[in-house]
Structure 1
Amino acid sequence: MGNVFVVSLAFADLVVAFYPYPLVLYAIFNDGWSLGDTQCKVSGFLMGFSVIGSIFNITGIAINRYCYICHSFSYNKLYSYRNTLLLVALIWLLTVIAILPNFFVGSLQYDPRIYSCTFAQTVSTSYTITVVVIHFFVPISVVTFCYLRIWIMVIQVRRKVKSEVRPRIKPSDLRNFITMFVVFVLFAICWAPLNFIGLAVAINPEAVAPHIPEWLFVVSYFMAYFNSCLNAIVYGLLNQNFRREYKQIVMSIWMPHLFFQETSRGGTEGMKSKPSPGLNNNEQVKGETL
């Protein structure tokens, strides 16, 4: 059921790809925003919806992996099919609740430096600090705690600390954990500069804001934008299943006839040489423990 959170994270990344990012490109090519205030507000809302949805989903994934590896006996009860769907729904409900105050504060504005309608850090000092703390520092702290506990568990397993009842972690689970850990690290790296700038500006707007170089602000913003593109790359580099699916997608687009021929031939050969269930299960058991 942990894959549901990955799908939810992918949805958060796709939101900006289908609406706000094309509008940003349009503004860049036209050297300004010419799509009206309504489009600006919708674009800014969806941008924040994607960003906050991403960090909340990354937090949900970290908690899920922590429960799966460190509290495996109660995992199935905690993350039943129904509970998992409810947790994902809760994540998106909290995301919407977190975004709505922007409309009352009036912080969704067009910024000509980055050609985007986005959160204006100087509108409200208290609100900016709240956003940075609740939407960045708190989730980062929770995720850091979860992954530190998982790393401790992995090290204990590797060093055989528990000699009598040694926990067993599947290699596939370890690979999935590493993949999501890299996703978290890249998110923190990409979003940290912008959040630290926002926090500094919010604490003392008159003294700090004029002294922040425009290039630093622009670079920090586009680093944050770029993060939405990184997750798919991380999955492809670290996960064999994703690489295989990426290859099939590319083949189906560029060589559809060869792709469908290979798929049909592979399915026929698989049926002819299907291994016995007993052998397959035995081999799987042998390779699933560290």
Structure 2
Amino acid sequence: MQVIAAGMKKFMEIQADTIVALGGGSVIDTAKGILYSMWQFSNAAGQEFKKPLFIAIPSTSGTGSEVTNFSVITAEGQKVVIVDEWMAPDIAILDSTCIQHVPQHVVADTGIDALVHAIEAYVSTEATDCTDALAEKAVELIFTNLKTLYNDVGNANARERIQKASCLAGMAFTNANLGINHSLAHALGATFHISHGRSNALLLSAVVEYNANLSSRDSRHVAEKYAKLAAVITLPARTYREGAINFIQAVKDLKKSLGIPKGIRELGIDQSKFENEVLNMAELALHDRCTPTNPRQPSREDLITIYQQSF
């Protein structure tokens, strides 16, 4: 919030007619926060605020923030999700040369973040045929190119395809919203100062298994959609169970190939400290803006279990 306040002050000093956000998701989200806060401030003062031209140029491939109406702001140690069409950039410029020097661990974290965006949009309660198409293509591009980019960030073709995948996933979730993977990640990241992409990656396997709910014969919809994603990445999916199981395993294999830790404990977080924070994190996740569109509505206890399984 301090950065946003400083940005508002500078904006008022120069009365800018154009804002350019060049950077990762946090940079673009900060620019959104400045614009949104200026708009709210002007409305409260009874003044008209003309939105400047907003240009977003991502320097990482993961958040999709250049095409979304979402902004995640850290305030008083908590990650607050703001969703408003007014914040969406007017122009998004995708230039894969901007990510040619990104460190390997950032490629992994942001790439999995984009994958989570696509998966959550695909099974969201607000998913449509259009968002499904965007999500399916994003998943295909990520599974085909992310490992290549991780091993060689100089690969221009892989860079361009992963950047496009991130953008497609962003367009999918800005229209279909997300789910508890993000809700849980927001609370985990803010509590233990873990990057957003890494938080999402650590929770992904447990969340997909929870939403698939393969132990229940009464609810097949989500498992069937995971099976469709398995087919998209050319895995066997003769039945919905086979497809869902293969997709869940594919997610685990991809994470392993990218050096993603198996669990939160591998980050050096003390288990007793983690357990002390679990209830509070679950409470925050339960009331997160992303939770209502999760395909399976969780209880507080469900969220605690997912955290524990991910530890």
- Report the TM range for the smaller structure's normalisation: under 0.3
Structure with greater proportional helix content: 1
Relative contact order (alpha carbons < 8 A, sep ≥ 6): 1 or 2 greater?
A: 1
* TM-score, normalising length: structure 2: 0.27
Larger radius of gyration: 1
Give the structure with the higher percent strand.
Answer: 2
